[in-house]
């Protein structure tokens, strides 16, 4: 889902940028893990600025988990000069940060266009938007399936964890918009907020089959 870049915190320059620039002046060949991780000091600010939503999974991450990370979209291994720049930071869970790694063919949430990625119901697979060119669809496929593996069992299971309670009426669309905004947007775009839609019957049947299969 497209993410709007938020303003840097007032103390970012003092806590991170200036210290980082000084370090790079003293260590001009440092890169990657050799860099001082001053960016970790502003993880709370990053979490607050982006409402705790992972830029890649588009799900809320509670602040008390240990896998909230600063993802350098321009990898610090290749671009150490951007290691201490607020506009290079994405709020990302540790698992997806590791999958993104140093790859540079992942679509940037800050520049991603609306409609490039859609959510298929009831499978919960992420798919390229229907209006995309073949090249654009390939970019989506590379990002979703090859690099971030957003259609693996773990990620689909996480999406199911948000959708199933919604399908059972345990909370409404407003709560889903706060906690899983991309999913909520797709539910509304595809007019699935009408719980009498036939898709929900199919989804519940799939869930029942999945539970029986696990026994």
- Name residue 126's beta-bridge partners: 119
Per-residue pLDDT reduced to its tens digit, 60-86: 998 877 689 999 999 999 999 999 999
Per-residue pLDDT reduced to its tens digit, 164-179: 999 999 999 999 999 9
CA distance 160 to 167: 10
- Name residue 53's beta-bridge partners: 60
**In this structure, are residues 150 and 126 in contact, taking their beta carbons and an 8 Å threshold?**
yes
**In this structure, are residues 63 and 47 in contact, taking their beta carbons and an 8 Å threshold?**
yes
CA distance 59 to 166: 14
**In this structure, are residues 148 and 100 in contact, taking their beta carbons and an 8 Å threshold?**
yes
CA distance 30 to 81: 10
Q: What is the pLDDT of residue 206?
A: 87
The residue count of the chain comes to: 215
Nearest to 160 by CA among 108, 214, 112: 214
What are the backbone dihedrals phi and psi of residue 89, each rounded to the nearest 5 degrees, phi first? -95, 135
Per-residue pLDDT reduced to its tens digit, 127-157: 999 999 999 999 999 999 999 999 999 999 9
């Amino acid at each position: 889902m497209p993410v709007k870049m938020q303003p840097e915190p007032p103390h970012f320059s003092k806590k991170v940028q200036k210290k980082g620039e000084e370090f790079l002046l003293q260590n001009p060949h440092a890169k990657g893990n050799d860099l001082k991780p001053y960016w970790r000091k502003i993880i709370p600010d990053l979490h607050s600025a982006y409402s705790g939503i992972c830029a890649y999974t588009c799900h809320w991450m509670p602040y008390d988990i240990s896998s909230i990370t600063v993802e350098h979209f321009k990898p610090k291994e290749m671009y150490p000069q951007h290691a201490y720049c607020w506009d290079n930071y994405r709020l990302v869970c540790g698992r997806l940060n590791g999958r993104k790694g140093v790859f540079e063919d992942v679509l940037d949430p800050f520049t991603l266009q609306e409609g490039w990625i859609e959510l298929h119901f009831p499978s919960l697979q992420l798919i390229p938007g229907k209006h995309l060119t073949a090249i654009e669809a390939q970019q989506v496929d590379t990002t979703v399936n090859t690099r971030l593996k957003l259609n693996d069992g773990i990620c689909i299971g996480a999406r199911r964890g948000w959708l199933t309670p919604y399908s059972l009426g345990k909370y409404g669309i407003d709560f889903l918009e706060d906690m899983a905004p991309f999913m909520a947007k797709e539910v509304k775009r595809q007019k699935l907020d009408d719980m009498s839609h036939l898709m929900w019957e199919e989804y519940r049947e799939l869930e029942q089959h999945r539970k029986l299969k696990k026994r």
